[in-house]
Chains A and B, each alone.
Chain A
């Protein structure tokens, strides 16, 4: 595997706020890399520096392995979507390709192929403003891919999509990866990242708190997390002495065990209270890891004040 993009110690401040504070990571060719973090963690600012919208105050962003203009190698779907409302769909797509340096019959053919695939062929001559929001999103996504980019940067691509379109995007990303393209996926939805990403970069308050291959990251947290599915009210699980932390959802819980705790004791405690359907000791979910990392960091920061 080779590195496509290398981000080194980039800093961006807005007034007194350090939105991005010394972020470094690399993106490997042919992977889906998840850039994760809460809203306001610095994900979008980092992406805007990669796409050339902002100049970093310090640090460097390096592109490797091609002499094509860096801007033209990226397909960028911004978090805040925007299209010219008055333009016709196909015309708009060709414009988006043209500002990435691609024009001519091959692009027109590609646009037509994408429109058919996304069930927008009938709407090719409609104005963008006549389309539903979901369809506008699809148009923007096609616009991101039409110029055949090497690196596809998607900022919250699934926000505002219905489950069917979410599945469509998910399948599309896998397909793009299979074609050998590199994808940088920014999201705050951990479950989604867990399904898609090969590599993750966890950002919090402008700093990278965790990064690496998803499997390796999860393994490093050990197999001391209980995943339980049940029927009944599991609220009492939180109070048990063997539990360090519990995330309770309706009909299920993810429990971090206290050091040296025996999971068997927890199972015993549930007898007569819950009807167990699944009881598994495994690595923690990404969400759990995220909460642990960010929680710990937040606590140390508060203690240092």
Chain B
């Protein structure tokens, strides 16, 4: 017992003193947040500074495209959630051209040429939207959106919908409906997502559940992988630097393995405690500003979230670490060990890949099944508790399954560890590992 404690202490102190640990502890939450918030911001930014020419073959849509562009910074929330689709996006600089007196190709040509002039000329266009002359009547009339980057679907979609609304208005006007009435008749009713939980709290800002969920899920699962790998490297190092013989002549392999796993678990817990503190502090600060953007951060910072986070982190880590410990004990170099765990890692990552459906539909059969499964349980169940309120027995069953999984994994790992840690030959195959399991 004392010997195991010596190992725990050593593993812990060695790890927390590393610069990498300090860096990760302080900056990882920021990094995770950036990873999910930045693309949104960039998307919004991407809409800014765009110069688009609208080549109007009908010559009748000038008013819809001639609004003065406001120089304000883009609102990320509107950029992500879509805003009001009928309005001109505030960040697109439109150059309108009336070409109803020219042939379509003659009218568009000067603008299309400007797509590829050098940027410095100040004359360059990012995209050109052509509207055919027979847009009002023709059944097969088609608008064309030319751009340098094919991925710019947001600008295309926005401009096309503006053009369509304008065309629809004109069609209605042609049938005698006055312009003011048309606006009233075609106004869209906006939708706000409100989640009503059993405990009666209201949660709004559904579109942000996804981002917050992903940040939390990332904070939960990524350290498990990092510390799993760290444990694996530690074992490989003890083998390759021949420390293991001194260790095994002083304590049982089981004591050594338990000490290592618990030591690294303590490191992980220290780190997530620091993260949760940072998030809680940052969240309290951010809540005020976030509220202005229309969503409520504090609804994610319930005390139970923190409890579940620590609990499911520990369960997830203890499940994964066994797999890494086997790989470490079986191999002689980091490279070999990583090759061995790489395919297993993909299997373990499954809930991460389906995080979007889990978060958007936490009570679906898939989410419920995954949350009760060995290996997948901790992450999935945590995600479910974050965005919904699963029945208590679901949570308890998931925890029980995880504990049973860990017990079985640990038993197997200890056996393979016992044989593998003293073997210096080539990397064992899976059947050889199986034999080790039976020998030990």
Contacts and interface: CB of A to CB of B under 8 A. Distances in A.
Nearest to B5: A98
Interface string B1-18: 011001100100010000
Interface in A62-81: 71-72, 74, 76, 78, 80-81
A78 B10 contact: no
A230 to B, nearest CB: 45
B2 A78 contact: no
A81 B10 contact: no
A83 B249 contact: no
B242 A98 contact: no
B250 interface: yes
Contacts of B422: 53-54
A98 B248 contact: no
Contacts of A83: 241, 243
B251 interface: yes
Given A78-B246, A95-B6, A95-B10, A85 B241 contact: yes
A82 B247 CA distance: 10
B2 A53 contact: no
Contacts of B238: 82
A87 interface: yes
Chain A interface, >50% SS class: loop
Given A87-B14, A95-B6, A101-B2, A51 B241 contact: no
Nearest to A50: B249
A249 interface: no
Given A83-B241, A95-B10, A143 B3 contact: no
Contact of A86 (B2, B7, B14, B247): B14
A85 B249 CA distance: 20
Contact of B249 (A71, A86, A98, A101): A71
B157 interface: no
A296 B249 CA distance: 36
A84 interface: yes
Contacts of A72: 250
A82 B14 contact: no
A261 interface: no
A52 interface: yes
Q: For the side of the interface on B, what is the size category?
A: 20 to 34
A78 B242 contact: yes
B242 A81 contact: yes
Contacts of A71: 249-251
Contacts of B2: 98, 101, 103
Nearest to A83: B243
Contacts of A82: 238, 241-246
Given A53-B422, A84-B243, A99-B7, A76 B249 contact: yes
A48 B242 CA distance: 13
Contacts of B251: 71, 99
Give the one of B2, B6, B14 with max A CB within 10 A: B6
Interface string A91-111: 000011011110100000000
Given A95-B10, A101-B3, A84 B241 contact: yes
Contacts of B7: 99
B245 to A, nearest CB: 4
Interface in B1-59: 2-3, 6-7, 10, 14
A119 to B, nearest CB: 23
Contacts of B244: 82
A53 B6 contact: no
A86 B234 CA distance: 11
A84 B13 CA distance: 13
Interface in B225-240: 237-238
B242 A53 contact: no
Given A52-B248, A87-B14, A99 B241 contact: no
Contacts of A80: 242, 245
B3 A78 contact: no
Nearest to B249: A51
Give the one of A53, A54, A96, A100 with max B CB within 10 A: A53
A43 to B, nearest CB: 14
A74 B249 contact: yes
B298 to A, nearest CB: 42
Nearest to B13: A91
A49 to B, nearest CB: 11
B246 A96 contact: yes
Give the one of A53, A82, A99 with max B CB within 10 A: A99
B6 A78 contact: no
Contacts of A85: 241
Interface in A35-52: 48, 51-52
A52 B248 CA distance: 7
A116 to B, nearest CB: 23
B243 A52 contact: no
B223 to A, nearest CB: 21
Given A83-B241, A101-B2, A143 B246 contact: yes
Contacts of A86: 14
A52 B238 CA distance: 18
Contact of A76 (B242, B243, B246): B246
Interface string A185-227: 0000000000000000000000000000000000000000000
Nearest to B424: A80
A138 to B, nearest CB: 15
Contacts of B245: 48, 53, 76, 78, 80, 82
Interface of A: 48, 51-54, 71-72, 74, 76, 78, 80-87, 95-96, 98-101, 103, 143
27 contacts: A48-B249, A51-B249, A53-B248, A53-B249, A74-B249, A76-B249, A78-B242, A78-B246, A78-B249, A80-B242, A80-B245, A82-B242, A82-B243, A82-B246, A83-B243, A84-B237, A84-B243, A85-B241, A86-B14, A95-B10, A99-B3, A99-B6, A99-B250, A99-B251, A101-B2, A103-B2, A103-B6
Ranked nearest first, the 3 interchain pairs of A and B with the lowest CB-CB distance are A82-B242, A98-B6, A51-B249
Given A54-B422, A98-B6, 16 more contacts: A52-B248, A52-B249, A53-B422, A71-B249, A71-B250, A74-B249, A82-B241, A82-B242, A82-B245, A84-B10, A84-B237, A84-B243, A87-B10, A99-B3, A100-B250, A143-B246
Interface of B: 2-3, 6-7, 10, 14, 237-238, 241-251, 422
